[in-house]
Structure 1
Amino acid sequence: MPTVKDNIKICMDITDDQITPDLINKLLKMHEPIVSNRYKILDDYYRGKHEILKRTIMDPEKPNHKPVSNFCSYITDTLTGFFIGKPVTYTSNNKQYLDIITQIFEANDEKAENHDLAHKASIKGQAFELVYLDEDGNICFDCLDTDSVIMVYGNDIKNMPVMAIRYYTIHDYFTDKDTTKIDVYTKTNIYHYTKNESSIIFDSAENHYFKDIPIIEYPNNRYRRGDFENIITLNDMYNLNLADIANDIAYYSNCYLILENMSGTTKDDLKVINENKTILTPENGKAYFLTKQLNDQVVNNHRNNLAEDIHKISYVPDLSKEINTNVSGAAIRQRFFNTSQVIVNKERKFKKALQTRLKLITNILNLKGYNFNYKDIEITFNQNLPINLIELSDSASKFAGIVSRKTLLSNLPFVEDVDAEMEQIRKEQSETINLDLIPDANTGGVYNE
């Protein structure tokens, strides 16, 4: 079974003038085994490339089925859906600021971007995003390949990023050669390098105006572990269970025919038996198949126990077991309690990263003459867990008049934009029906008393 290396966190105090090709090369060598072992294994297991596919059987005549039951992709897809399936919402008392941020988010398809970041972090334990200005000066942000980013943190108590390295390969189809490009980001500059077979060569440097490192890390949790790392060995055992029972069934499905007290049977006799599907036996002769009795109960119990352990350890319930439509909200919350705690921890890490994104964007906006504060934007996550709408609506009606309407609406999972919903309510309440303008059904004119 594969052993997934733990993630590493590089901490050092460094200034721009201390960045050298030798340092970059050393960091790349430290990162390479993480990419080739950790990230590759996690990516393979999500894609269904499990250890069972490498299984060999000594006897080539025996069946060698290699079924893959991919709990890893189930866990990542389910948790990501619970966590970010409903988009993050943003509110602010500064309408102008919120409108500008909303336009930037829409231009960058922010909802899809958040989902991609959460999905990558769920698989590999962390994800990265680059905030940049395009050739027209528009503020953009895009999800990066986790394998291509090295984040360096300071040694102080806050442990904030002090440098980020992004490296990627460009293939020249004319010469059929690969070139590795390296971009080093600090709080004020971007340094460009090219790596060849023997050395790293400095190309150029440029200033950026984000006032912080424009690469953002989105950790999945404090340990930067993927959501299915803890159940990989259990998933391998589950696959092995399926493979063994499938092989046994296939091996013994071609049963041996026993002809008892019929030792004189020849190959020609067997050919006639096969053609006519009939056997004429002597007085004491018997014909029957040799079969193996499979202990299905033991095998099924083992497989079911493995599945239960996988769901328990990953904190992801088995959604194939239907939830009764009449089940209470308390029962739903109890069943999804552990899942909810995982999602809450994700939210804390993700929110901090989203605030960094807002900060970087706001720094550029303020250079254009605005005076915004990124803290004026409130970020709200909307868990996409099963709920009892009847109980929720009943609770909301009981709290009416005790808490503000905005607070009530923000706690209703089907309301994505609280401000837009409140505006629609005000609009509907302000509309009045003028009876004098209603046409009379008999005369076709207006109604008059």
Structure 2
Amino acid sequence: MAAPDVYRIADNQIMDEIQLEKYIAKNDEKVAQKYKKLQSAYETDYDIFHQAKKPEYKPDNRIAVNFAKYITDTMNGFFIGIPIKVSSKDSSVDGYINYLDVYNDQDDNNAELAKLMKIYGRGYEMYFVDEEGEIGITYLDPMEAFMIYDESILMRPRYFVRIYKDSEGIRHGSISNETTVQYFDIDGGLHFRTDEEKVHGFDGVPATEYIENSERQGIFESVLSMIDAYNKALSEKANDVDYFADAYMKILGAKLSEPELQAIRDMRILNFEGEDGSKIIADFMSKPSADTTQENLLERIERLIFLISMVANINDENFGTSSGIALKYKLQSMNNLAKTEERKFTSGMNQRYKLIFSNPVSGMKADDWLKVDIKFTRNFPANELEESQIAGNLSGITSKETQLKVLSVVDNVNDELDRIKEENKLDTEGYEVNRGVLAEQTEAVDQGLGEERGRTKEEINNSI
């Protein structure tokens, strides 16, 4: 199946100012029609706040329940709440990866990138050499960047475009190809800065597109219409409450003047007298109640939102009573989603290290990215006792490294293995020292006994 929602360019097509302006216009249209709506939903800016106003005499409550943010943050915490473990059996590669991740605060970058993927269906990562001469990594959302691929079945990246606004609201940007990065301004038309084209040093376009799924669909995009329906139903329910709290009074059979109406309203007392007083009707008009219908609708929509988005409502009162395998079954849909995202994220990370290691600044060999191991850990409620029992049962069956990977308390398997070796070395040295001391003590005792036996024998001979 051909990848949807991507920009392509022919191999013989030259990316000049006119062509680039066309691609930016396409992306601007997509931002307006899709991305801004998804961003607004995550930021609690729903259609309910923009619908036509009701007449002044009618209640007009606007209530929004931000399911989009809840679904996104819950799934993101489950998928990447426990940071990704990146390691290598090659000590030099492992050391550089750890340095690179700390230098770029990569655990936070990964979490933010994963969140962008869930909101927009995609996110971007850009690589560059900073002013310190180190390789920098940053994340970008599709409202400010996009990738252009070739027309082959492999979909090779050809160009990466980044756009931003300065303090005066003027748009600028950069476009990178396989060897260089060129800057441009959009002010009365797009113009390249011909004097600022630079070689970026990476073997390929210095950016990676991370996708949530092959369709590039956000995690709450399929339930957005239901969220809007839920917000509308809840707001109308609040309006009905206001209607009942401010019900109309009807008085039949008596004509009241303005002062009398005001007195009834202020004093809250009715007193009608006269021969026809028994025929006077005074009560409140009651509006037909649709409470049961509204509650059923709200309950059904809420259930469908979590069902279709495949994200569990972990705050449900019945959810917390589950444990063990029952809890994992309730999280099975989220786990299936996370497995798909893990494969996509791993693919992006492979491209990340392939590009970074291709730059001479990294000091790595170009193919060292093949030595990188990536380990994801689902953020299930941790049962450390169960994990330790599983790890113990693996003793003698698997390697120490595989045993340690079972334990969520171990952040870096290679570091833990090094600490175990160091502790074993210290224990061995301590044992050798103790054995030497014991040998010396034994020798001294033997020597003392020998001397004692010699003296005793001499004493016996003298007495004879």
**Common topology (TM > 0.5):** yes
Q: 45-54 or 22-31, which moves further after superposition?
A: 22-31
Residue 8 of structure 2 corresponds to 11
Q: Distance in 2 between matches of 1:93 and 1:102?
A: 13
After TM superposition, the structure 1 = structure 2 runs for residues 250-265 of structure 1, keeping only pairs within 5 Å, are 250-259=242-251, 263-265=254-256
Shift, 1:429, TM fit: 4.9
Residue 373 of structure 1 corresponds to 368
Shift, 1:254, TM fit: 0.8
Q: For residues 213-242 of structure 1, what are the alpha-carbon distances to aligned partners after superposition, in whole Å with 9 as ceiling and x for unaligned?
A: 101111111111111100010001101110
Q: Which runs of 5+ in 2 are unaligned?
A: 435-464
| 3-state SS in 1 of match to 2:84 | strand
Contact 1:83/1:343, CA 8 A, preserved across alignment: yes
* 2:199 aligned to which of 199, 207, 215: 207
Shift, 1:202, TM fit: 4.2
* 2:38 aligned to which of 38, 42, 48: 42
| 3-state SS in 2 of match to 1:127 | strand
Structure with the larger helix share: 2
Contact 1:383/1:413, CA 8 A, preserved across alignment: no
Shift, 1:148, TM fit: 2.0
Q: 274-283 or 54-63, which moves further after superposition?
A: 274-283
Residue 190 of structure 1 corresponds to 181
Residue 290 of structure 2 corresponds to 295
Shift, 1:320, TM fit: 1.4
Shift, 1:209, TM fit: 1.2
Q: Distance in 1 between matches of 2:90 and 2:101?
A: 16
| 3-state SS in 1 of match to 2:99 | helix
Contact 2:87/2:97, CA 8 A, preserved across alignment: no
Shift, 1:28, TM fit: 1.5
Instruction: Tell me the C-alpha RMSD between the 2 structures.
Output: 2.6
After TM superposition, the structure 1 = structure 2 runs for residues 312-331 of structure 1, keeping only pairs within 5 Å, are 312-322=307-317, 327-331=322-326
Partner letter of residue 408 of structure 1?
Answer: Q
Q: Distance in 1 between matches of 2:356 and 2:42?
A: 33
Rate the CA distance shift 1:222–1:44 in 2: closer, same or farther, 3 A.
same
Q: Distance in 2 between matches of 1:143 and 1:75?
A: 21
Shift, 1:211, TM fit: 0.8
Q: 200-209 or 329-338, which moves further after superposition?
A: 200-209
Q: Distance in 2 between matches of 1:124 and 1:326?
A: 34
Contact 1:332/1:387, CA 8 A, preserved across alignment: no
Residue 443 of structure 1 corresponds to none
Larger Rg computed on CA atoms: 2
Contact 1:130/1:144, CA 8 A, preserved across alignment: yes
Q: Does 1:135 align with 2:126?
A: no
Q: For residues 272-294 of structure 1, what are the alpha-carbon distances to aligned partners after superposition, in whole Å with 9 as ceiling and x for unaligned?
A: 44444443354625643222242
Q: Which runs of 5+ in 1 are unaligned?
A: 1-5, 173-177, 438-449
The TM-score, its normalising length taken from structure 1, stands at 0.87
Q: Distance in 1 between matches of 2:132 and 2:389?
A: 51
Residue 3 of structure 1 corresponds to none
Rate the CA distance shift 1:74–1:416 in 2: closer, same or farther, 3 A.
same
* 1:221 aligned to which of 213, 238, 245: 213
Q: Distance in 2 between matches of 1:265 and 1:193?
A: 77
Q: For residues 14-48 of structure 1, what are the alpha-carbon distances to aligned partners after superposition, in whole Å with 9 as ceiling and x for unaligned?
A: 36x92211211221222221111111111111111
Q: For residues 313-342 of structure 1, what are the alpha-carbon distances to aligned partners after superposition, in whole Å with 9 as ceiling and x for unaligned?
A: 000111111466674422112111111111
* 1:355 aligned to which of 350, 357, 362: 350
Shift, 1:135, TM fit: 1.7
| 3-state SS in 1 of match to 2:62 | coil
